Chains A and B, each alone.
Chain A
Amino acid sequence: MALIECRGLTREYKKGDNIIRPLDGLDLDVERGEFVALMGPSGSGKTTLLNLVAGIDSPTRGELTVDGVALGSLSRNKLAAWRAQHVGYVFQLYNLVPVLTAYENVELPLLLHALSRRERHGRVMTALQRVGIADRHDHYPRQLSGGQEQRVAIARAVVTDPTILVGDEPTGDLDASAAEAVMALLGELHDDLGKTIIMVTHDPKTAACAERTLHLEKGRLVREAGAMEGAAV
């Protein structure tokens, strides 16, 4: 059984009499340890799919199971607890809490786990070291560059050792060299730690880092290609 299974996954919004359907009966399997890139034009439903998989949105119809858990059947509170265990989310605009230092931002998700202060400290420092930013642990987001902020955000996403790591255009706001560094980091997380990663991107070069690239259009998968083929198109 695949780690992530989508069957007829549909998300609808009502706008007056109109029904908007960002996701329209999508079928998809993602295996444990896979690194998947998600591409497609703006408005094609990439973020919507990511949010469903990350459990911060719920499908209108269809099935979505992650690691055997049917997310649609979980209550709001159960879903929150599930996210705390299983999901790391990296945003395009980092979304660090501005009044907290890098260290405190990374510690935030750990507060939900039954860990002592010392254990938390160990995990936070390990995560910060992994993303190469331990020396800036007491800096506030405003004192960091975009690339550094995104690395802190990645540390925050992986510090709980989640089952899946999702990124919504994580390099979308970075310059080329910072983007490259972030992609190298995600590659390491995948190669060294075997993380399952789903990442939205507009950039074919970035998508090339993934093992598989999915193309979304109007809420449906139009084509699936291996990384090499995807890059060649």
Chain B
Amino acid sequence: MSVGRFVPYVLKQVTRHRGRSALTVAGVAIAMFLFTAVQAMNRGVTVATQERAGETTLVVYRADRYCPATSELPQDYQSRIERIEGVVSAIPVKVVVSNCRTSLDVVTFRGVPKEAFLAERGGAMELVAGSAEDWKRRTDAALVGETLATRRGLRPGMTFDAAGITAYVAGVIRSDNPQDQNVAYTALEFVQLAGRDRLGIVTQFNVTVEDPSMLESVAAEIDGTFKTAQEPTATFTEKSFIGRIADDIIELVGFARWLGIGCLAAVLALVANAIVLSVQSRIGEHAVLQTLGYSSRLVALLIVGEGLVLSLAGGVLGALAAYVVARLGSFALAVEGVSIPIEASLGVIATGLVVCGTIGVLGGLVPAWQASRREIAACFRAA
């Protein structure tokens, strides 16, 4: 006999004790919303900072500096870097941020030499709106990352102000690199001139090397080259550069993991509490089921099933809400010109639901076991 035919019974028990179930589901949903949000942040840290095989990008920064406002390198380092063995290209980048502190809504401008940038990085990006020609033609044009565009409601043809710069949106780009997703690429001179008159000064160089195995040696060679120069350099792989700049955020997100675990504990307590109360108020009912011939194991299974349904219902609601909010809000934690995206991926949601379902079962297990152990006749006397 399949247990499937008892599913309607379990669902009726949940849906027809409406008030009680709604409160439990709401509680689970809130906890799962928070849990999913924390997971999405953790996922974002992983995506932004974990090295992937095949990556070939180095970031050359001013040694001992941690902020784009203070990292100043002569633009003419470019030719010296490009002469180093194994370097494919070095793109000078001037970074200007609207807010130097950690924030969910930082606008980051990256001034780049347009032709070189398109030649080197164009292939890794997809233009989802607007035109690249427009970007090349206009001096104040920006290619805006999708996350930033969604968050600020930017569409091609609009202009926007941030960090004292007024830029024209020529196009919206999509990229696998979370950094691209949250910046506005403009002409190098445009950004250099926008603030103070600092032509010839850039924040960093983004260097592409021939082969991932050369990252370390090339980085060492670059730093060696400028060791005694007026502006010495510190060179990192792109991901470890982000890890270094955003270490505060990463630490906070790491701590938030504990909040996530707290959310799970809350779900467990909620579901267990709901099931304990529901089982206690239905001792007689479960004794009736057993009198009808339901085995104690089946009764336990039905009780566990109720916990599972409650927690899954709450889990789906909470995770979906988190997903929708993260998607619509297009949040990214940004600091000093680097971004940690909040990645509410379907994988994060699926993990959340599996965890939630498991906790639902755990929450029902003890009360189910207790209920199935009771002596039937004694239950009727108590009721």
Residues of chain A having any CB pair with chain B under 8 Å:
47-48, 51, 54, 56-57, 76-77, 80-85, 87, 89, 91, 95, 97-100, 104, 108-109, 111-112, 114, 156, 160
Contact = CB atoms under 8 A, between A and B. Distances in A.
A112 B292 contact: yes
Interface in B1-27: 1, 5-6, 9, 12-13, 16-17
Given A99-B13, A111-B9, A81 B285 contact: no
Interface string B285-323: 101111111111100000000000000000000000000
Contact of A83 (B16, B292, B297): B292
Contacts of B1: 112, 114
Given A57-B377, A80-B293, A95-B285, 14 more contacts: A48-B377, A57-B376, A83-B292, A83-B293, A87-B291, A91-B288, A95-B284, A95-B288, A98-B285, A100-B9, A104-B12, A112-B1, A112-B292, A114-B1
Contacts, number: 69
B16 A109 contact: no
B380 interface: yes
30 contacts: A47-B377, A51-B377, A54-B291, A56-B287, A56-B290, A56-B291, A56-B376, A57-B375, A77-B297, A80-B293, A80-B294, A80-B296, A81-B293, A81-B295, A83-B292, A84-B294, A87-B291, A91-B288, A95-B285, A97-B285, A97-B288, A99-B13, A99-B16, A99-B17, A111-B6, A111-B9, A112-B1, A112-B292, A112-B293, A114-B1
Contacts of B17: 99
A109 B295 contact: no
A77 B298 CA distance: 10
Contacts of B377: 47-48, 51, 56-57
A85 B297 contact: no
Nearest to A109: B292
Closest 5 A/B residue pairs (Cβ): A84-B293, A99-B16, A80-B295, A57-B377, A56-B376
Q: Is the interface of A mostly helix, strand, loop or mixed?
A: helix
Given A97-B288, A99-B13, A99-B16, A91 B380 contact: yes
Contact of A80 (B5, B6, B13, B290): B290
A200 to B, nearest CB: 13
Nearest to B6: A111
B380 to A, nearest CB: 7
Contact of B291 (A47, A77, A89, A100): A89
Nearest to A120: B5
Interface string B265-298: 0000000000000000000110111111111110
B301 to A, nearest CB: 13
A81 B290 CA distance: 10
Nearest to A51: B377
A142 to B, nearest CB: 12
Contacts of B380: 91
Contacts of A82: 293
Contacts of A80: 290, 293-296
A119 B307 CA distance: 31
Nearest to B378: A57
A109 B16 CA distance: 20
B287 to A, nearest CB: 8
A84 B291 CA distance: 8
